[in-house]
Structure 1
Amino acid sequence: MANALKIISVLLSYPSAELHEALGEIEAAIARDSRLDAGNKKRIAALVADLGRLDLYDAQERYVSLFDRTRTLSLHLFEHVHGESRDRGQAMVDLAQMYERQGFDIGPGEMPDFLPLFLEYLSTQSDEEVHELLGQTLHIVANLRTRLQKRGSIYANAMLALEAIAGIAPRQEALEQLLEEPDHDPDDLEALDAVWESEAVTFGGGTGDQNCGPDRLRMQVRAARRPPPQPGVERNS
């Protein structure tokens, strides 16, 4: 189970050159995992193969369009239940403290509720803890799976595997509430700016390549909109 959670964590992270180079090793690790049933091995292997077929730039562009530019597909767990409210901030503080108590360190700029980070943490825990914590978030995972399936996205396979690992059904009422939220058009940049108008809670103050989600997207959108420098005119960074 730990191996499967670690693999899914990596596959749900922003595609990098290192990830593409390691796809062969990941595929072999999936095949060796005795805790993952044949159906979910096939699903994860299909996601690995799909990533391998794509050019790295195309894989990154697809990832951003899905998970960074569509709020209802955000991989930040508390985004779906708390939005940008103060409750989300406190929930993330509590989650970060849980990580700290277990000796699990998070890097500068990483958000505690980022699903790949949460799965990496779970991969270090007992089966009992995995079932407990994954079960608490399963309605969010099922919400993501449903929306990804509607888009015909191969990433739905990762969510299906997580549901199988949890071994229980999501809370139906909570899932239905999440599914009531309408999807946003990822190509409507003005609407996107309005959605992310409130500053997200940050931890550690870092803004490196590991920073995922709305902060990275905001920087990308603002950079794209910034007028080009005029000859002979310097602009502060």
Structure 2
Amino acid sequence: MLSQALIKSSSLKRLWLDQMEWGADLLLKALAGDDGNRSIECLYLSNMDGLGDCLRQVLTSNPSLKEVVLEYLRMRPEEWQQLGEGIRDNAMATNIRVRFDLDKNVEDRWNSIEALACAASSDVKDPRVELDLTLYSNHDSVLSLNLLGRVLRGELKSLKSFHIRRKDEYSGSNEDGLEGILSMNGNTGETSVLKKLTLETVQKDVLKDLLRSTMRRSGT
């Protein structure tokens, strides 16, 4: 069986699973618990569903994992919340990259993003989550900037890296509006734990406004 082969492999460093219907069962058998593989350092999971509590078990029980990438996973908001709690309390990996594409099921995915970011936030532990969002509408852009504002103000301390990518043209925005969204509300930004911020858009002038507003409001 594949799970037994993975458990016995001592040279394998990276494992990538994409669109696997039985991925949860494989992960639990091969990586979770005391008998799981201890050579794999990087785990990549893409376009999968049905993982549920499986991810939390793997992340909190496998000490060899250093980097975990979760791309476009289909889980309920409450499952993302449980995962965030696991990351906050007991996750072994120090780099956990999560990517969302908001091309459909937008409301549910935003609920998932909020659930993860809030649940993984800790006042005493270093952030582990690298969040990567691909957006397609002005509404999503505003929501992502609201989330960024909370991160810059230090209200959320779960993100070490935040990448916001806009796929189409951004309209109806200006610097004053952006400054309002990114307002520090009297905070200095000293409590923010964000280490890296990437803003990507097809319109250069909007990108400049975003950067100017972000730097001004963060006090840098």
Larger relative helix fraction: 1
TM-score (structure 1 length as normaliser): 0.22
> RCO greater where, 1 or 2, for CA within 8 Å and sep 6 or more?
1
